[in-house]
Amino acid sequence: MLQYASVTADEPSEEHWASGPGLGRHAAEARLRLSAVSLISATGVLIVAAAYTAGRAGYASSAWADRAYWLGQALVVVPAAAWLLSRRVLTAGLTMGLVTVFTVAEYLVTICYSPLQFEYADELSHWRTTVNILHTGRLFTPNYVLPISPHYPGLEELTSALVSITRLPVFTCGLLVAGVAHLLFVYLLYLLYLRISGSFRIAGIAVLCYASNSHFFSFDSMFIYQTLALPFFALTLLAAWQLASRRAGENRGGWVIVALLAIAATVVTHHVTSYMLVAGLLLLSLAALATASFRTAAWAGGLALLSAAAALGWLVVAAPSTVTYLQPFLQSTLHSFQSLLSGGHGSAPPTSSGPLSNRALAALGVLGVSALLPIGWWRIWKRYRGQAWPLALAIMSLSWYLVVIVRFTVADGSELSGRAATFIFVPVAYVVALALGQLGGAVVRWQARLMATALLAAVLILLFDGLVNGWPPYWERLPGPHQVAGFERSVGPEEIDTAQWARSALGPGNRFAADFGNGPVLGSYGDQNPVLDVSFLFESPAYTQSDAKQAQALSIRYVLADRRLSQSLPASGQYFPEDPGAGHYRRPLPLADLTKYNRAKGVARIYDAGSIVIYDLDGGGNAP
């Protein structure tokens, strides 16, 4: 069995990492040290939670709170990384333990940011779909803030079932589903790397490198449909390995069923993940043909065809609106590439590049991965060039350089590269781990400690780059007071109360004009239909006949005016979902632009909570 071969691969004679006599003593020591790593990581989570609490108490901008956050993150990240990159013997249990402690600790950190309710805009969207399923008992009910969500109901269906069984709140069940899915994805990724490399250490380091992608600590673990689709994505790849590695005459029925179920679950849970699954299996099949691994080519190609057929069938039968949903994003991406090739620039609004330290860490991270990949390719060429899986991952990892070009040259490159990182880092992490293993095993004993320190520093740079330039953005890394037109810090009791009033008093599905911060809350808690292109209703001191006609053309009935927009610049750089002035504001919006509806003929003020006011453009004829 491969597991026995993997143990051999971690012995000192092959990789030159380990030292010291006997595995028995090392196993006892490993258990003790794993307990110490768990305690240190738990302390780190506690310190981060304290920093978050300080932020909520009004110290979000204090240097000591920020330092406490980074101290806590260091206590979570460093121990597992240091052990995996040391020269000590690793076993299957110890490696899995380190991976588990690291993953669970970081997920607890994510929960501590918002421990009472969903605040991330994407999570609010899926919370709305889940609540709709619970209220109606049916799938595919409209979700105005994320219309595509009901057509890929895997996450919400599972969560609503758990709510029905346990009677726990949606928030609690959502955290459980997302947390288990995230940990399961990491386990499956580890097993896949272990099967391909035959080494516990390489597999553990590869998971560590994968965690350095900017979405691992956020979008890969949030209550969003991609989080649940990822473990099924990885399970399909693992099933492909198992099916191809079985000898003639061995029973494959169980893994065939696993592969079919995993494909189906991926397809009904997240569109992009299912498309990336098809692409990955096709590339694997082609790489297998290049290495004359015909059995791998047949199984990978067959699963790719099944995945493509399932994705296409679901698209046609249940989710035809996916094309319309993805079209603007694809057009924007294509336009950005065309502009880049022609020497121009993308048309997307510029976003803040962050502090100099963030940009410097991002540059170091990019340079590190870019330098390590060729070393990993060389190792694959020297030892694995006749094997389909390492070759396929090496070919896929070439996409890293394309992502780097997009990240630093396209106007919306950070978002594009971040979205791609979840999938591109699957092959990149494996190749980088091979490079680190090569460097760690290529030195003589007296240089080993120095090399281990250098490799640890390199991996920590990658991990902290993922933290610094991931989510939440730097300006709301700590929870704190309300921020105008932001993300998580634009979600508070006042916004939620307003949205809930709108749903109970006005009914669901009304088309609203609202700012960037209030829109997601209004669409989720309020079950309203926020319109994207609404800046014209907030950026002039008078409500003109032209404005009224344009609002009528967009079927906008209600306007939510948040007077705080006149008190500070937008934290996100834009006041509205589609904002022509994004990134160019030098002063807040004039208060007169927000209060003009008090003087507008035929407009009724139907809700006033002090900062937030709702107006009925139809004069309040059907309003309460």
Residues 398-407, mean pLDDT to the nearest whole number? 86
- 3-class state of residue 249 by DSSP: coil
User: Given this model, what pLDDT does residue 531 score?
Assistant: 95
Q: How far apart are CA 430 and CA 189, in angstroms?
A: 10
The yes or no reply on domain 488-616 and CATH 3.40.50 is yes
Least confident of 83-92, 160-169, 306-315, 588-597: 83-92
In terms of Cβ atoms closer than 10 Å to its own Cβ (0-12, 13-18, 19+), residue 586 is exposed
Q: Return the biggest CA–CA distance within the chain.
A: 87
Listed in sequence order, the residues at least 6 apart from 494 whose beta carbon sits closer than 8 Å to its beta carbon are 482, 609, 610, 611, 612
Check: CB of residue 224 under 8 Å from CB of residue 269. no
Question: For residue range 566-608, what is the model confidence (pLDDT) as tens digits?
Answer: 999 999 999 999 999 988 999 999 999 999 999 999 999 999 9
Q: How far apart are CA 134 and CA 160, in angstroms?
A: 6
* Averaged confidence pLDDT in the chain: 88
Q: How far apart are CA 433 and CA 376, in angstroms?
A: 7
User: Given this model, what pLDDT does residue 15 score?
Assistant: 40
Nearest to 324 by CA among 151, 153, 157, 522: 151
User: Given this model, what pLDDT does residue 341 score?
Assistant: 62
- The CA-atom distances, in angstroms, between 254 and each of 12, 296, 407 are 36, 17, 42
Confidence band (pLDDT; 50, 70, 90) for 411? Answer: low
Check: CB of residue 289 under 8 Å from CB of residue 281. no
User: Given this model, what pLDDT does residue 451 score?
Assistant: 82
pLDDT at 444 over 60: no
Question: For residue range 5-23, what is the model confidence (pLDDT) as tens digits?
Answer: 333 334 333 344 444 445 5
Question: For residue range 18-71, what is the model confidence (pLDDT) as tens digits?
Answer: 444 455 666 677 778 889 999 999 999 999 999 999 999 988 788 899 999 999
Ranges of H-type helices in 246-355: 253-269, 271-290, 294-317, 321-341
User: Given this model, what pLDDT does residue 343 score?
Assistant: 57
pLDDT at 370 over 90: yes
Confidence band (pLDDT; 50, 70, 90) for 413? Answer: low
Q: How far apart are CA 492 and CA 480, in angstroms?
A: 10
Check: CB of residue 286 under 8 Å from CB of residue 301. no
Q: What is the torsional sign of CA 281, 282, 288, 291?
A: negative
Question: For residue range 486-511, what is the model confidence (pLDDT) as tens digits?
Answer: 899 999 999 999 999 999 999 999 99
Q: Which helix (H) or strand (E) holds 114?
A: none
User: Given this model, what pLDDT does residue 10 score?
Assistant: 41
End-to-end CA distance of the chain: give it in Å, rounded: 71
Count of alpha carbons within 13 angstroms of residue 462, beta-carbon side: 29
Check: CB of residue 400 under 8 Å from CB of residue 372. no
pLDDT at 350 over 90: no
In the chain, where are the structural domains located?
488-616
Is the model more confident about 296 or about 414? Answer: 296
Helix %, strand %, coil % of the chain (to 5):
65, 5, 30
- 3-class state of residue 607 by DSSP: strand
602's tokens: 């035929």
User: Given this model, what pLDDT does residue 9 score?
Assistant: 39
User: Given this model, what pLDDT does residue 250 score?
Assistant: 77
User: Given this model, what pLDDT does residue 91 score?
Assistant: 80
Question: For residue range 99-152, what is the model confidence (pLDDT) as tens digits?
Answer: 999 999 999 999 999 999 999 999 999 999 999 999 999 999 999 999 999 999
User: In DSSP terms, which residues pair with 150 in a beta bridge?
Assistant: none
Q: DSSP states of 501-549 as a string? A: HHHHHH-TT-EEE--TTHHHHHHHTS--EEES--GGGTSSSS--HHHHH
Ranges of H-type helices in 167-224: 170-197, 200-210
pLDDT at 303 over 50: yes
Nearest to 597 by CA among 551, 529, 555, 533: 551
pLDDT at 359 over 80: yes
Count of alpha carbons within 13 angstroms of residue 271, beta-carbon side: 19
Count of alpha carbons within 13 angstroms of residue 593, beta-carbon side: 14
Q: How far apart are CA 423 and CA 230, in angstroms?
A: 9
413's tokens: 């490159």
Listed in sequence order, the residues at least 6 apart from 618 whose beta carbon sits closer than 8 Å to its beta carbon are 557, 602, 604
